[in-house]
Structure formats: structure tokens, C-alpha cells
Amino acid sequence: MASISETKSLDEKHRILEAEQRIEVAGRQNSLVDEVTELSAIEATAASTAAWLISVTVSLGNFLFGYDTGYISSVLVTIGTSLGHSLSSSEQELVTSLTSGGALIGAVFAGLTADRFGRKVPIWAACAVFVIGTLLQTAAYSVAQFAVGRFIVGLGVGSAAMIVPLYIGELAPAKYRGRMISFSNMSVTLGQLVASAIGAGLATVHGEGWRGTVAIGAFPAIALAIMLLWCPESPRQLVAHGQLDRTDAVLLKLYPTSTLTQRQAKIKSIEMSLQEGTSSLIQEGTWSTFKRIFKTPATGRAVLVACLTMAISQLGGFNTLMYYSSTLFAIVGFTNATAVAITVSGTNFVFSIVNLVLVDKIGRRLLLCTTVLGMSICMLIAAVSFHYIPINTHTLALEGSTVGWPGVLVLVTIIFYVAFYSTGVATIAWIGTELIPIEVRALGTMLNTITCWGTNIIISSTFLSMMKGITPSGAFGFYCGICFFGWLFFVFCYPEVNGMPLETVREVFKHGFGLRYSRQWQKENKHIPKVSQQSFGH
């Protein structure tokens, strides 16, 4: 009996010792978080005009993204026999989808080079391929050459879509990070609007005005490549490569009212965030960095949240409206479907501005939970409305001359859907790169961008088939289900990191999905984002 009692006593002592060790580890982690937050006091100083100018400049990359994905619809209508013959439907699908295929490869290339060569080199590479692809398309007299040009432009689109939000997120002051990335996303919608307007204008030009529509896309790429010479490298990349003097100069440019002590503290906080593997980032192989995502639970959760947010933004049905809006509105009975479709692009642009205003004021989580639920309700109403529209599911042609209130309700519902989409997940899907730890941020962002283009291809290549196979009501009901799943996911798994320094964000997913942890941090640091708030111009 004595031996049993002694064994129980030893077990009890062992459990107490383990508990004490866990408390000590937790205390060290909390101390580290507090220290990182304290070292990021520079965030409370005024951000310079230069920070905004850099963000605006780099956003030209996303303008190109929007322009080069936006002009194809007008070009396909006006291209005629310029490539030797009228394009068949399969050839039109080919030259349209090749850009998405190229974007996948471009995102991979940018992800593999961004850590080793910095954030600016992939942007320069994107500018170069934008120009090459544009010239090939402009001078094309065969489908093959035009298709190659579209693919090469896609390489630039994928690279820009991945690097631009990553670069801005690492340069931006914490309290403006969401707004700056929102501005870059707004540039995509602006590019699409400009492409549509130029395409419509040059469609009236006799001859081959479509070539002018394509050629104009080279000028923003050239301007971005030149202006990028005056943009600094990301401070986090400079610290990872041991260039501390250059880091201090960049921080002074971004925070002109900061003190030397504050800048040194910020550099120290970046170094602390790089300790877990980033100190050997240059020597570490890509495969080792990639495995880090799946071997580290906290990192895996961060990348999962970012990628699922992106997938929901694409699979929720928005791109069917962008690619097939004219077709869709013609189906429901609008005689001038192209003009009606412009309403979708206009709504998308206007409400991207709304996101720009709100994303840093009320936070990512509230915007997502509110707008994605709104998207789901809109898709449900559209699905019900389609039930009352007589459509031949074999030809997708309207049976009858009028549709009445169901067609009007579909239009109104889609406009509201686009407004919800653009206000929320459209931009926040790209802001999601802020969730990914620095040591895997480039590869994590690459996965995020691949998720974007992979799901983009899926949704754009299945929409018409779904309309025929499961009826329009079934297709929009499916999108309703995706949006509802997205709402549940954001409610239970998306933490609020608004105003957090990136060095603190990395701690969030060490606590599950970090909802409680992030709420607690927000309560304890309410004063940080409110100090020295500046207007857009400042």
C-alpha cells in the first residue's frame, strides 16, 4: 500500500510540475506579445505622405490586373476577322481562359522569388511581361499569336495580384494597412471600368480599333516600372537580409516624426518576429519553407483562413456576373444587356470605395459577417426569382417576349449582391495576407493567389453548364449555399486583426483561430489605432 501511495504522490508532483511549466511558458508568450506591441510604438506616430504615394504607385499593378482582364469582353465583340477568321466559341473561351492559366503560373513564380529577391523584383518582372504580352496581342494576325500574348499577360496578372497586396501590407502603417490594400483592390475595379469605357469608345473606330484598346495597357506597365525606382524595399525583407541601415532609412521615410529609438525598437520587433526560422530565410530551401506551413499548426491555420476566404470570394458567384453579365441579363429579357451589365462594373467600383472607407474603421470581421450574409440572401432571392422566369434550359433562351417583375428583381438583387461583395470579401480576401506569418508569407500569399485563380477558372468554366444542368434556380441556389457556408466560417473562424502590427498578428493563431485572443488584444490596445489618426492625404 505504501508503494502505491508513494506512486500517487509522485504522479501528483509530476502533474503539478507540468502545470507550473505550462503557466511559465504561457507567461513567457504573453510577455513576448506585450514586448512586441511595446516595440511597435512607432505605429502611433504620423504616417508620411510617402507611405500613401508608395501605395498608390504600386496599385498601378492592380490597375493593370483589372485592365488586362477587363478589355477581353469588348475585344471579342469587335475583333471580327482580324486574326484570319471569325473566332469560334471554343477559340473565344481559349483566349479568355489562358489569362487565368498564365496567372496561376505567374503567382507561383512570384511566390518563389519574392523572399529571395525581395518584393520589387517580381513587380518589375510583371511589368516586363505585361508589355511583352500586350505587344504580341496588338500585333497579332493569328489566333496562336494572340493566345500566346494572352497567356503572357496572365503571367503578369498573377504576379501582380500576389505581390502588390503583400508589398503594401508590409510597408503600410498598421492603422492604414487595410485601407491601403483596399485602395489597391479598388484599382482593379477601376481598371475594369476604364477597359470597358475604352473598348466601347474604340469599338466605333473604323478598321481595327480593338488593337488600340489592347495597346493602351502597355503604358501603365511602363509607368509603374519607372516609378518603382523611387519605392523602397519592404522593411521586413531588408531586416531578413541583414540590411538594418537601409531599414532605418525606410522607416524614417514612412514615419518622419518617429525618433531613432522608436525606429530601432521597430527593427527589433521585426527581428523578433523573424526569429523562428526567418533569420535563415535566404539559405532555407523553398521546400523547407513550404513544409513549415503544414508542420506548424498556428501557421497552417493562418494560411487556411486566408485561402478559404479567397475561395469563398470566388466560388460565391461574383465572377459569373463579371464574365457572363451581358449573357445573363439577355437571358432574363433585357434588350440592351450590355448597357445593363455596365451597372455591375459601376456598382463594383463604387462600393470598393465604401470598403476603403470602412475596412480600418469597423474592422474586417464585422464587414465579412455582415456582407457575406447579405450575399447569401441576395443569391436566395435570385434563385427564387429565376423559378418564375420561363427559360429553356437546353438553349438558355427566354421562352416568351417579357419576364416582368422577376427579371427586374433579378437585376436589383444582383446589384445589391455586388454591393455587398465589393464592400466586404472582394477586398478582404486580399487583405488576408496580413494573417500569414512573415517566414512563410510569400509562399502563403502564393497559395492564396493560386486559390484565387484556381477557383476563378472553376467558376467561370462551369456557370453555363450549371445553368443548363441544374437550372438557373439551382445554380444560384448553389452560390447561395457557398455564401452561407462562408458566413458561418467567418463567424466562427475569422479573427479581428484590425490595427495590429504584423509582428503581433503572428501570435493570434497560436490560440486556435484566435477569436477570443484578438478580441482581448483589441480591448487592451484601443488607444493604439486612435493615436494620431491622419486623413487620406497625410
Q: Binning pLDDT at 50, 70 and 90, where does residue 12 land? A: low
> Among 6-10, 134-138, 187-191, which stretch is predicted with the lowest mean pLDDT?
6-10
Q: Domain check: are 82 and 181 in the same one?
A: yes
pLDDT given at position 226: 93
> Among 72-86, 248-262, 376-390, which stretch is predicted with the lowest mean pLDDT?
72-86
CA separation for the pair 132, 302 (Å, rounded): 36
| Per-residue CA distances from 525 to 37, 223, 272, 508 (Å) | 9, 40, 20, 14
Check pLDDT > 70 for residue 341: no
Check pLDDT > 60 for residue 538: no
Check pLDDT > 60 for residue 200: yes
Check pLDDT > 70 for residue 243: yes
pLDDT, tens only, 268-278: 887 876 665 44
Q: Is residue 383 part of a domain?
A: yes
Check pLDDT > 50 for residue 167: yes
Check pLDDT > 60 for residue 337: no
507: domain CATH number?
A: 1.20.1250.20
Place of cell 473562424: 493
Structural domains in the chain (count)? 2
What share of the chain has pLDDT > 70, as a percent? Answer: 80
Per the model's pLDDT, the better-predicted residue between 322 and 522 turns out to be 522
pLDDT given at position 45: 67
List of residues 6+ apart from 405 with CB closer than 8 A: none
CA separation for the pair 360, 174 (Å, rounded): 9
Check pLDDT > 70 for residue 281: no
Q: Which range marks the domain in which residue 387 is found?
A: 283-538
pLDDT given at position 346: 81
Place of cell 416582368: 404
Q: Is residue 37 part of a domain?
A: no
pLDDT, tens only, 501-513: 766 777 888 888 8
Mean pLDDT on 466-479: 87
Q: Binning pLDDT at 50, 70 and 90, where does residue 537 land? A: very low
CA separation for the pair 320, 316 (Å, rounded): 9
- The residue from 189, 224, 241 where one domain ends is 241
Mean pLDDT on 508-536: 68
Check pLDDT > 60 for residue 284: no
Q: Is residue 274 part of a domain?
A: no
CA separation for the pair 24, 434 (Å, rounded): 29
Check pLDDT > 70 for residue 445: yes
Maximum Cα–Cα distance across the chain: 103
DSSP string, 470-518: SHHHHHHHHHHHHHHHHHHHHHHH----TT--HHHHHHHTTSTT-HHHH
Mean pLDDT on 45-55: 77
DSSP code, position 404: -
Q: Domain check: are 414 and 500 in the same one?
A: yes
Check pLDDT > 60 for residue 463: yes
Mean pLDDT on 78-83: 82
pLDDT given at position 285: 58
Q: Domain check: are 193 and 65 in the same one?
A: yes
Q: Domain check: are 304 and 407 in the same one?
A: yes
Check pLDDT > 70 for residue 38: no
Strand ranges inside 311-423, DSSP E? 391-392, 397-398
Per the model's pLDDT, the better-predicted residue between 478 and 341 turns out to be 478
Q: Is residue 225 part of a domain?
A: yes
pLDDT given at position 372: 96
- The residue from 241, 257, 291 where one domain ends is 241
Q: Domain check: are 298 and 223 in the same one?
A: no
Closest CA to 217 of 319, 292, 131, 156: 131
> Among 121-135, 151-165, 281-295, 444-458, which stretch is predicted with the lowest mean pLDDT?
281-295
Q: Domain check: are 369 and 440 in the same one?
A: yes
Q: Domain check: are 234 and 322 in the same one?
A: no
Check pLDDT > 90 for residue 479: yes
Identity of the highest mean pLDDT range in 162-171, 209-218, 438-447 = 209-218
CA separation for the pair 306, 300 (Å, rounded): 10
Sign of CA dihedral 359, 364, 367, 371: positive
Identity of the highest mean pLDDT range in 68-72, 351-355, 465-469 = 351-355
Q: Which residues of 125-153 are buried (b: 16+ CB within 10 A; e: fewer)?
A: bbbbbbbbbbebbbebeebeebbbbbbbb
Check pLDDT > 80 for residue 365: yes
pLDDT given at position 46: 62
pLDDT given at position 491: 94
Check pLDDT > 60 for residue 533: no
Identity of the highest mean pLDDT range in 241-250, 283-292, 474-483 = 474-483
Q: Is residue 372 part of a domain?
A: yes
Q: Is residue 199 part of a domain?
A: yes
Sign of CA dihedral 313, 107, 441, 118: negative
Q: Is residue 341 part of a domain?
A: yes
- Is 150 within 8 Å of 99 (Cβ atoms)? yes
Q: Grid coordinates standing for 496?
A: 479581428
Q: Domain check: are 91 and 196 in the same one?
A: yes
Check pLDDT > 50 for residue 388: yes
CA separation for the pair 210, 205 (Å, rounded): 9
Check pLDDT > 70 for residue 61: yes
- The residue from 215, 241, 267 where one domain ends is 241
Q: Domain check: are 212 and 294 in the same one?
A: no
Q: Is residue 30 part of a domain?
A: no
Mean pLDDT on 240-255: 86
pLDDT given at position 349: 87
- Is 70 within 8 Å of 412 (Cβ atoms)? no
Q: Domain check: are 225 and 302 in the same one?
A: no
Closest CA to 461 of 85, 80, 75, 89: 89
Helix/strand/coil for 398: strand
Report the chain's mean pLDDT, rounded to a whole number: 79
Mean pLDDT on 59-64: 88
Per the model's pLDDT, the better-predicted residue between 350 and 329 turns out to be 350
